[in-house]
Homo-oligomer: A and B are copies of this chain.
Amino acid sequence: MNSTRNIISLVRRYSTSRSVKIASHGSPSTALKIENENITDKISNKDVLVEMLHAPINPADLNIIQGTYGTNVQVGGVAGMEGVGVVKKVGSGVTGLKENDLVVPSMKQHFGSWRSKGVWSEQQLFKVPSDIPTEYLSTISINPTTAYLLLNDFVKLQQGDVIIQNASNSMVGLSVIQLAKARGIKTINVIRDGSEFEDNVQRLKQLGGDIVVSEEYVRTPAFRKLISDLPSPKLALNAVGGQSATELSRILADNGTLVTYGGMSREPVTIPTSQLIFRNIQIRGFWLNKWFEQHTDSEKQSVYDAIFDLIRKKQFKLLIEKHKFSEFDQALLKSQQSGHGRKIVLDLQL
């Protein structure tokens, strides 16, 4: 009897979590190591035991693994910036969370979401509503939030205004289209040419994109003619750099703002002097990590609420492709292929 009770006790106090660790900084295909570790449910006062449900593979996650991101995650840390989990147990001093609550990272520091279970402090978690699909919740903190802030924090946009963006087929780009559409802001969307070009155009238009064109077309007089009856864009969103960013600056209205939030081409942002001096174009940058550092929980809550509200009204969709955590390698590979237009999300309990 005694010995059986001891075994049961052991079983109850430890369970296994699978996690993807950064074993070295470099190519994601070789730098990561999948490890099993024991997680105790004897958690301390302020801690919360979370069973992770979903986590996306974001481009920023890959950059962190490569060691090329603005913040570093030490070797040995768990990869993954965002995700969603369900609270399994809370410490006696935890006041804001209870069992079965859904939580996402508070984004105040690197989270390490690519694992099936974890223990975090209450401050590292942020409660989210239960009526939003968990796949959506897992990707809410980075891409839709970035899109929302890009549209809100730089230029005062009103119904009928026009914006232009490149990388429009990314999840931020697709989010921008829908958030703009909901506000009556028109979008000019630039995407890469390629075999799936027509499918991409259709998808972006279905989501509400007003104009969808290729990077090459933007440089033609025909494009200028196409947009000639629209007001000039007050805001340009750049995640590419190089020639693509330069073109956006030329199309901006006088006094317009170009915001860079990514650099997919790995080329710098190059702006003709005349655009800066004679047309008063402003060049800014946006980094979500910094935004989270500098803003309160209630400011974050109101951004999330705005997005949740649109999701409930079916005005905001996320295109997601789920992969089992047990098939991580394929998911990682897929996430590195460009142009498939869907976010790869890990199903962490499978």
Q: Does residue A133 face the partner (Cβ distance < 8 Å to B)?
A: no
Q: Does residue A76 face the partner (Cβ distance < 8 Å to B)?
A: no
Q: Does residue A280 face the partner (Cβ distance < 8 Å to B)?
A: yes
Chain B residues whose CB sits within 8 angstroms of the CB of A263 once the complex forms = 273-274, 277
Chain B residues whose CB sits within 8 angstroms of the CB of A279 once the complex forms = 285
Are B269 and A262 closer than 8 Å at their CB atoms? no
Query: What is the CB-to-nearest-CB distance from A63 to chain B, in angstroms, rounded to a whole number?
Result: 11
Q: Does residue A55 face the partner (Cβ distance < 8 Å to B)?
A: no
Are B280 and A282 closer than 8 Å at their CB atoms? no
Q: Does residue A111 face the partner (Cβ distance < 8 Å to B)?
A: no
Q: How many copies does the complex hold?
A: 2
B-facing residues in A130-185 (Cβ within 8 Å)? none
Q: A260's contact among B70, B276, B286, B287, by CB below 8 Å, is which?
A: B276
Are B287 and A284 closer than 8 Å at their CB atoms? no
Q: Does residue A114 face the partner (Cβ distance < 8 Å to B)?
A: no
Are B283 and A261 closer than 8 Å at their CB atoms? no
Known contacts A277-B70, A283-B283; A268/B268 CB under 8 A: no
B-facing residues in A35-80 (Cβ within 8 Å)? 70
Closest to A265 in B: B273
Are B281 and A276 closer than 8 Å at their CB atoms? no
Chain B residues whose CB sits within 8 angstroms of the CB of A276 once the complex forms = 260, 269, 283-285
Are A268 and B260 closer than 8 Å at their CB atoms? no
Closest to A287 in B: B277
Q: Does residue A271 face the partner (Cβ distance < 8 Å to B)?
A: yes
Chain B residues whose CB sits within 8 angstroms of the CB of A280 once the complex forms = 284-285, 287, 290
Q: Does residue A275 face the partner (Cβ distance < 8 Å to B)?
A: yes
Chain B residues whose CB sits within 8 angstroms of the CB of A275 once the complex forms = 285
B-facing residues in A219-249 (Cβ within 8 Å)? 241, 246
Query: What is the CB-to-nearest-CB distance from A227 to chain B, in angstroms, rounded to a whole number?
Result: 23
Query: What is the CB-to-nearest-CB distance from A269 to chain B, in angstroms, rounded to a whole number?
Result: 5
Are A268 and B262 closer than 8 Å at their CB atoms? no
Which 10 pairs between the two chains have the least Cβ-Cβ distance? A276-B285, A263-B273, A283-B283, A70-B278, A260-B276, A270-B270, A277-B285, A268-B272, A277-B287, A268-B270
| 14 examples of A-B residue contacts, CB within 8 angstroms | A70-B278, A260-B273, A268-B273, A269-B272, A270-B271, A271-B271, A271-B283, A276-B284, A277-B286, A280-B284, A281-B285, A282-B283, A282-B284, A283-B283
Identify the A interface with B (CB < 8 A).
70, 241, 246, 260-263, 268-287, 290
